[in-house]
Structure 1
Amino acid sequence: MKRYILLLFFLTSVGLVRAQVQIQRPPEKTRLLFLLDASGSMYANWENSVRMDIAKAMLVELVDSLKVDQDLELALRVYGHQYNLRYKNCQDSKLEVPFAPANHDRLIAKLRQIQPSGVTPIAYSLEQAANDFTNDPEYRNLIIIITDGIESCGGDPCAVSLSLQEKNIFLKPFVIGLGMDNDYRDEFACVGQYFDAKNVNDFRLVLDDILKQSLETTTVSVELLGTDNQPTETNVNVTFYNNFTKAPIYDFVHYRDAQGRPDSVVLDAVLSYDVVVNTIPPVIKRNVIFEGGKHNVLPIKSPQGSLQLSQRGHTEYDKGVNALIRQHGKQEILNVQSVASAEKYLAGTYDIEVLTLPKTYFKDVKIEYGQTTNLTIPGPGVLNANIVTKGYGSIYKVHENGFQEWVYDLNADETRFTMALQPGNYKMVFRAERSFGSKYTEVKEFKIDSGSTVSVKFFGP
Structure 2
Amino acid sequence: MISVMKRFFWILVLSYVQVVLSVAQPVTRILFIFDSSYSMQARWESGSRMDVAKRLLGELIDSLAQVKEARVEIALRLYGHSKGYPPQDCNDTRLVVPFGPDNHQRIKRVVQSLKPMGTTPIAIALERSVEDFPPCELCRNLIVLITDGIEECGGDPCQVSEQLQAKGIVIKPFVIGIGLDEMQRRAMECVGRYYDAGREEDFRRVLGLVISQALERTTFQLNLLDADQYPRESDVAFTVMDQKSSKIHYRMMHTLNSLGMPDTLSGDPLVTYRVVVHSIPQVELRDVQLSSAKHNILALPLQRGKLKVKTAKVIGYKDLKVVLRSEEGAILNLQDINTEARILAGTYRLEVLTHPPYFTDIDIKAGEVTTVEVPVAGMLSFQTVASGYASVVDENGQRVLDLDEQATRHLIPLQPGRYSIVYRPKAARDLFFSVTRDFEIISGATTVVKLN
CA distance in 2, matches of 1:338, 1:184: 60
CA distance in 2, matches of 1:34, 1:18: 38
Q: What's the secondary structure of 2:110's corresponding residue? A: helix
Q: What's the secondary structure of 1:131's corresponding residue? A: helix
Does the alignment pair 1:429 with 2:426? Answer: no
Q: What's the secondary structure of 1:106's corresponding residue? A: helix
Q: Which amino acid aligns with 1:431?
A: R
Distance apart, 1:220 and its partner CA? 1.0
Q: Which amino acid aligns with 1:181?
A: E
1:185 touches 1:194 (CA, 8 Å); kept in 2? no
Please name the residue that 1:360 is paired with.
358
CA distance in 1, matches of 2:198, 2:303: 47
CA distance in 1, matches of 2:79, 2:24: 30
Please name the residue that 2:236 is paired with.
236
1:306 touches 1:373 (CA, 8 Å); kept in 2? yes
Q: Which amino acid aligns with 1:77?
A: R
CA distance in 1, matches of 2:364, 2:124: 55
Q: How many residues align?
A: 447
CA distance in 1, matches of 2:407, 2:376: 26
Distance apart, 1:454 and its partner CA? 0.9
**Relative to structure 1, is the Cα distance of residues 28 and 443 closer, same or farther in structure 2, using a 3 angstrom cutoff?**
closer
Q: What's the secondary structure of 2:94's corresponding residue? A: strand
Distance apart, 1:97 and its partner CA? 3.2
**Relative to structure 1, is the Cα distance of residues 427 and 146 closer, same or farther in structure 2, using a 3 angstrom cutoff?**
same
CA distance in 2, matches of 1:414, 1:230: 59
Distance apart, 1:344 and its partner CA? 1.6
**Relative to structure 1, is the Cα distance of residues 385 and 240 closer, same or farther in structure 2, using a 3 angstrom cutoff?**
same
Alignment of 1:367-446 (within 5 A): 367-398=364-395, 403-446=396-439
**Relative to structure 1, is the Cα distance of residues 7 and 275 closer, same or farther in structure 2, using a 3 angstrom cutoff?**
closer
Please name the residue that 1:83 is paired with.
83
1:195 touches 1:206 (CA, 8 Å); kept in 2? no
Alignment of 1:252-331 (within 5 A): 252-292=252-292, 294-318=294-318, 320-328=319-327, 330-331=328-329
Alignment of 1:24-423 (within 5 A): 24-25=22-23, 27-43=25-41, 51-70=49-68, 71-137=71-137, 139-158=139-158, 160-161=160-161, 164=164, 169-178=169-178, 179=180, 181=182, 189=190, 191=191, 193-197=192-196, 199-200=198-199, 203-204=203-204, 206-292=206-292, 294-318=294-318, 320-328=319-327, 330-363=328-361, 365-398=362-395, 403-423=396-416
Q: What's the secondary structure of 1:142's corresponding residue? A: strand
**Relative to structure 1, is the Cα distance of residues 43 and 301 closer, same or farther in structure 2, using a 3 angstrom cutoff?**
farther
1:392 touches 1:410 (CA, 8 Å); kept in 2? yes
Q: Which amino acid aligns with 2:231?
A: P
Distance apart, 1:19 and its partner CA? 6.4
Distance apart, 1:18 and its partner CA? 3.9
1:75 touches 1:99 (CA, 8 Å); kept in 2? yes
Deviations, residues 101-123 of structure 1 (Å, cap 9, x unaligned): 43333333433333433322123
Alignment of 1:447-458 (within 5 A): 447-458=440-451
**Relative to structure 1, is the Cα distance of residues 440 and 8 closer, same or farther in structure 2, using a 3 angstrom cutoff?**
closer
Calculate the aligned-residue CA RMSD, in Å. Answer: 3.0
CA distance in 1, matches of 2:202, 2:277: 37
CA distance in 2, matches of 1:130, 1:208: 25
**Relative to structure 1, is the Cα distance of residues 377 and 202 closer, same or farther in structure 2, using a 3 angstrom cutoff?**
farther
Distance apart, 1:448 and its partner CA? 1.0
Q: Which amino acid aligns with 2:182?
A: D
Q: What's the secondary structure of 2:398's corresponding residue? A: strand
CA distance in 2, matches of 1:321, 1:13: 38
**Relative to structure 1, is the Cα distance of residues 43 and 355 closer, same or farther in structure 2, using a 3 angstrom cutoff?**
farther
Distance apart, 1:371 and its partner CA? 2.0
Q: Which amino acid aligns with 2:326?
A: Q
**Relative to structure 1, is the Cα distance of residues 253 and 8 closer, same or farther in structure 2, using a 3 angstrom cutoff?**
closer
1:384 touches 1:455 (CA, 8 Å); kept in 2? yes
Gap runs ≥5 in structure 1: none
CA distance in 1, matches of 2:280, 2:203: 45
CA distance in 2, matches of 1:180, 1:379: 79
Q: What's the secondary structure of 2:389's corresponding residue? A: strand
Identity %: 36
TM score, norm. by length of structure 2? 0.87
Q: Which amino acid aligns with 1:111?
A: V
1:241 touches 1:273 (CA, 8 Å); kept in 2? yes
**Relative to structure 1, is the Cα distance of residues 231 and 82 closer, same or farther in structure 2, using a 3 angstrom cutoff?**
same
CA distance in 2, matches of 1:431, 1:361: 31
Structure 1 segments of 4+ aligned residues over 6 angstroms from their partners: 45-49
Q: Which amino acid aligns with 1:384?
A: S
2:218 touches 2:267 (CA, 8 Å); kept in 1? yes
CA distance in 2, matches of 1:31, 1:326: 46
Q: Which amino acid aligns with 2:347?
A: T
**Relative to structure 1, is the Cα distance of residues 95 and 357 closer, same or farther in structure 2, using a 3 angstrom cutoff?**
same
Distance apart, 1:198 and its partner CA? 5.7
When structure 1 is superposed on structure 2, of 198-207 and 425-434 the one drifting more is 198-207
**Relative to structure 1, is the Cα distance of residues 310 and 45 closer, same or farther in structure 2, using a 3 angstrom cutoff?**
farther
When structure 1 is superposed on structure 2, of 375-384 and 167-176 the one drifting more is 167-176
CA distance in 1, matches of 2:129, 2:63: 24
**Relative to structure 1, is the Cα distance of residues 12 and 77 closer, same or farther in structure 2, using a 3 angstrom cutoff?**
same
Gap runs ≥5 in structure 2: none
CA distance in 1, matches of 2:80, 2:10: 56
CA distance in 1, matches of 2:399, 2:100: 75
**Relative to structure 1, is the Cα distance of residues 324 and 93 closer, same or farther in structure 2, using a 3 angstrom cutoff?**
same
1:212 touches 1:292 (CA, 8 Å); kept in 2? no
Distance apart, 1:180 and its partner CA? 5.2
Deviations, residues 169-226 of structure 1 (Å, cap 9, x unaligned): 544433334445378557654x5x4223264466555444433443233211111223
CA distance in 2, matches of 1:453, 1:417: 12
Distance apart, 1:259 and its partner CA? 3.2
Distance apart, 1:396 and its partner CA? 0.9
